[in-house]
Amino acid sequence: MSTENKMMPENARLAAVLADPDMILQFKTPSEKAQMAAVQRKPELIGHLPSATEKVQLVAVLRSAESVLLMHAPSRRTCFMAVEKMLGLDLLPEENVLDAAERLVLRMKSDRNEGKPDTAAIEEFLTEVKPYKN
């Protein structure tokens, strides 16, 4: 059962999330601060936050790059950062690379849902971005 945000002041909601990140699931519309606090401590909660801002997504990815695969609609920059971190790459954030990173994340999500390995998608990505490596 979700707790209405109006019933509890923001600082109390934030304190609750800091004490137990899963408390974020009790709020109908958690604030960005509360979302950031939750995913910083437990990145997999990002999958339960469909309206997570890019800031919240980036916090989750900094803690666990694979959390991007749980996101409802990761931003291109979030995908880029996650892919760099997952693959141990240092890429230039050019438009083509941002697009390729987003496509890779979407394909990895799809492949994993179908029980397929990520290998082919990653190899194609590496071939595509080879000219953009630092």
One-letter amino acid of 58: L
- Min mean pLDDT across 3-17, 49-63, 72-86 is at 3-17
What digits encode the pLDDT tens for the residues 24-38?
999 999 999 999 999
Integer Cα distance of 36 and 55 in angstroms: 8
Burial of 89 (0-12, 13-18, 19+ CB in 10 A): middle
* Predicted pLDDT of residue 3: 47
The answer to whether 2 touches 28, Cβ cutoff 8 Å, is yes
Confidence of residue 133 (pLDDT cuts 50, 70, 90): confident
What digits encode the pLDDT tens for the residues 41-54?
999 999 999 999 99
Integer Cα distance of 23 and 53 in angstroms: 18
* Predicted pLDDT of residue 126: 96
Greatest distance between any 2 Cα atoms in the chain = 54
